[in-house]
Amino acid sequence: MQGPQPQHDEFLQAYDQYADAIFRHCYYRVYDREKAKELSQECFMKTWEYLSQGKKVDNLRAFLYRVANNLIIDSSRKKKESSLDAMMEEGFEPRETGPEKTTVAAEAGQMIALLDKLDEKYRDVVRMRYLDDLSPKEIALALGESENVVSVRIHRGIKQLREYMA
Amino acid sequence: MEDRIEKIFSEARRLSLTADEKSAGREMLRSYMALTPMVAPQQTAKKPAFGFARAWTHKTAAAFSVSLAVLLSAASVSYAAEGALPGDLLYPVKVGVNEEVRATVAVSAQAKASWEAERAERRLAEAEQLATRGRLRAETRIAIEAQFRNHAERAQKGIAELEDSSDIEAAANVNAHLEGSLRAHKKIIAMLADDSNDDDDTQVNALEASVDHETQAAEEFRGKNEARVAAEASTEAKTAAEGRRGAAVRKIAEVRAYLAANRASLGDSATAEAEARLDEADATVAEGNAKLDAGENGAAFALFAKAQRQAQEAKLLIRAGNELKIKAKAGGLRLDLNADVNAAANDRGDATVRHEQDGGAPAGSTDDGDQDAGKDRRIDVKTDLRIGSGEDRHGAKGGTDAKLDL
């Protein structure tokens, strides 16, 4: 019998492939590991819900980021997240708690903090381009902007970042 | 410079889920997907972009209708199982499938803790139903009690974790739900304590001790939670109090709707009692508003939490009146609806009920011998449910008559 099994397997493969990236995407916005785990889990569930209704998705990866972005916005409306500055003062450092327990270099922590200083429209695309490793086309799909607008924003964002770092 | 930026970003990209987290997430997703199956794809001709949509053939149509039929019948089984009691054929489906699935889809920490509180409450409701039917045997009671404590403790652990992560509002919300439920069940169990046969009686008393224990834990937590809010900066305490007010108002509205839906089966006087209880909850909210206006945010927070608890208690008492067929006679069944729930410190173990059977048999010595099977059995009970100090625990003042239809 050809049940819903094949679609199931494909979606679980998509989870294997993108779970880390979506988790990271959430983490660098909420700076809370548990919260990021919840958000990324919910992102996959919501996406499955959408697909299970027989709706069509052109680019699953971009779609996942889009759902994740909406969830992050919803959750920040519900509760104001701690600002990164406040967390840095308390000695916060983005940390990798993977099996190898490597600490992300302090420099990377500062860089992420700098990202928060960018204008919002630059910040999102720079994050998606460099942290999430999405192509400008995928970012355009996720944000509902044209690819051209996205490319310009990446360029300007990096320029702004460079000024802050100098 | 570009290189350096890239290097730093690639460092940041190393952050990932642990293998355990990832496989737990995958399992959770898989269970969720089983719960939310694919429906028939909408499109036919176009090449699918993600490979989900497949050509719609008669063969797949048949396959889908078969799986749909299987899912529908599974859904009706799980729906039917919701009312099952321990010992029923479908009970394992209720606890092992329905409840586990709901536990899996509760994603946020608050939802998880709430669901544990709800499960604890469900176990008590089951024990009460069994007791009214004379089916609460020692082994069943021990099993239910273990499950009850297990869920209550998990709920309390979840509440403590919410508090630790500074989500004081969520912690207070779940705790008010849990505590309100426990207090209502404590009263219901006390009412059942002297009922029907001796074996049930012993079981109900044993259960009461467990409920007491968990209620105390919830009360202690509330004390700490309220103290913490009171100690907060005024703006934060105000926000917290306003959040509690929202939760209390929603709860009261929910219980009013519940009462409206059950009015017919509940009878006039029990309805009036429940309404009075809800009016009290409204009054508590008004009191809280006044405190909020006066800038006493900590006190307002405590009052709004109290209103929420009162509403939750009222809800469970309505349900008990309904499901356990405890019906009011002239004067109404007074489940001590007027007791001050804030008098927590005086309250432990002192809610007493005395049942006197027709013919003046002493309380606690009800005789099963004259009950014909199938005969509608009515026991007139004298109910004296009071909240007071321990010394006059067996006092009889303020007793009201109630009828227990079994």
ipTM of this complex? 0.74
Instruction: Give B54's contacts (C-beta < 8 A, 6+ positions apart).
Output: B41, B48, B60
Give pLDDT tens digits for B230-278.
787 777 788 888 888 988 999 999 899 888 888 877 777 778 888 988 9
Q: How far is CA B25 from CA A45, A70, A142, in A?
A: 10, 20, 23
> Where does residue A56 rank: exposed (0-12), middle (13-18), buried (19+ CB within 10 A)?
middle
Contact B282, B252 (CB under 8 A): yes
Q: What is the pTM of this model?
A: 0.45
Give pLDDT tens digits for A44-98.
988 988 888 878 888 888 899 999 988 888 887 765 545 555 555 555 555 444 4
> Where does residue A132 rank: exposed (0-12), middle (13-18), buried (19+ CB within 10 A)?
buried
Instruction: Give B184's contacts (C-beta < 8 A, 6+ positions apart).
Output: B312, B313, B314, B315, B316, B317, B320
Is pLDDT above 90 for B155?
yes
Q: pLDDT at position A40, please?
A: 92
Is pLDDT above 90 for B281?
yes
Q: Measured between alpha carbons, how far is A15 from A22 in angstroms, rounded to an integer?
A: 9
Rounded to 5 degrees, φ, ψ at A30 are: -110, -15
Q: Measured between alpha carbons, how far is A61 from A22 in angstroms, rounded to an integer?
A: 9
CA B325 to chain centre: 19
Q: Which of A2, A57, A112 sits opposite B59 (nearest CB)?
A: A2
Helices (H), B232-296: 234-266, 268-293
Q: pLDDT at position B114, please?
A: 92
Percent of chain A with pLDDT over 70: 77
Q: Is A76 inside any structural domain?
A: yes
Three-state SS for B66? Answer: helix
CB-CB under 8 Å, A97 with B5? no
Q: At what angle do helices B297-323 and B168-192 cross, to 10 degrees?
A: 40
Q: How many domains does chain A have?
A: 2
Q: Which of A23, A52, A107 sits opposite B8 (nearest CB)?
A: A107
Give me the CATH number covering residue A152: 1.10.10.10
- Return the minimum-mean-pLDDT range out of A2-16, B151-165, B379-393: B379-393
| Chain A residue with Cα closest to B22 | A19
Based on the fold, state whether residues A25 and A61 are members of the same structural domain.
Answer: yes
Is pLDDT above 50 for B401?
no
Instruction: Give the up-direction half-sphere exposure of residue A111: CA atoms within 13 A in the CB hemisphere.
Output: 23
The pair of three-digit structure tokens given for residue B48, joined into one six-digit string:
């699918």
Q: Is A90 inside any structural domain?
A: no
Q: What is the CA radius of gyration of chain A?
A: 17
Q: Measured between alpha carbons, how far is A8 from B291 in angstroms, rounded to an integer?
A: 54
Instruction: Give B86's contacts (C-beta < 8 A, 6+ positions apart).
Output: B126, B130, B140, B143, B144
By the CB < 8 Å criterion, does B68 face chain A?
no
CB contact residues (below 8 A), chain B span 239-298, against chain A: none
Domain hosting A163: range is 104-166
Q: Measured between alpha carbons, how far is B182 from B305 in angstroms, rounded to an integer?
A: 15
Which residues in chain B are contacts of A162 at CB distance < 8 A?
A: 1, 5
Based on the fold, state whether residues A27 and A64 are members of the same structural domain.
Answer: yes
Q: How far is CA A43 from CA A68, A74, A87, A135, in A?
A: 5, 12, 25, 20
- Which helix (H) or strand (E) element contains residue B383? strand B378-383
Is pLDDT above 90 for A18?
yes
By the CB < 8 Å criterion, does B47 face chain A?
no
Contact A72, A26 (CB under 8 A): yes
Q: If you average pLDDT over residues B281-304, what whole number do you get? A: 91
Q: Is A88 inside any structural domain?
A: no
CB-CB under 8 Å, A42 with B107? yes
Q: Is A163 inside any structural domain?
A: yes
Based on the fold, state whether residues A64 and A133 are members of the same structural domain.
Answer: no
Which residues in chain A are contacts of B21 at CB distance < 8 A?
A: 37
Q: Measured between alpha carbons, how far is A69 from A134 in angstroms, rounded to an integer?
A: 14
Q: If you average pLDDT over residues B370-376, what whole number do you get? A: 37
Based on the fold, state whether residues A78 and A120 are members of the same structural domain.
Answer: no
Rounded-to-5 percentages of helix, strand, coil across chain A: 75, 0, 25
Q: Which of A4, A59, A99 sits opposite B18 (nearest CB)?
A: A99
Based on the fold, state whether residues A108 and A152 are members of the same structural domain.
Answer: yes
Query: Chain A: nearest CA to B244, how far in angstroms?
Result: 14
Rounded to 5 degrees, φ, ψ at A157 are: -65, -45
Q: Which residue has the higher pLDDT, B289 or B350?
A: B289
Q: pLDDT at position B372, please?
A: 38
Q: Which of B17, B50, B67 sits opposite A3 (nearest CB)?
A: B67
Q: If you average pLDDT over residues B108-125, what whole number do you get? A: 91
How many Cβ pairs within 8 Å bridge chains A and B? 148
Query: Chain A: nearest CA to B18, how far in angstroms?
Result: 5
Based on the fold, state whether residues A70 and A135 are members of the same structural domain.
Answer: no
Q: pLDDT at position B240, please?
A: 83
Which residues in chain A are contacts of B19 at CB distance < 8 A?
A: 99
Q: Is A113 inside any structural domain?
A: yes
Q: pLDDT at position B58, please?
A: 52
Q: pLDDT at position B371, please?
A: 38
Based on the fold, state whether residues A2 and A32 are members of the same structural domain.
Answer: yes
Give pLDDT tens digits for B200-233.
677 788 888 888 888 888 888 888 888 888 787 7
Based on the fold, state whether residues A127 and A77 are members of the same structural domain.
Answer: no
Give pLDDT tens digits for B50-77.
444 444 455 555 566 556 555 655 666 6
- Return the minimum-mean-pLDDT range out of B78-82, B255-259, B269-273, B359-363: B359-363
Q: How far is CA B135 from CA A126, B131, B139, B201, B329, in A?
A: 65, 6, 11, 11, 26
Based on the fold, state whether residues A62 and A127 are members of the same structural domain.
Answer: no
Q: Is A96 inside any structural domain?
A: no
Based on the fold, state whether residues A138 and A77 are members of the same structural domain.
Answer: no
Q: Is A95 inside any structural domain?
A: no
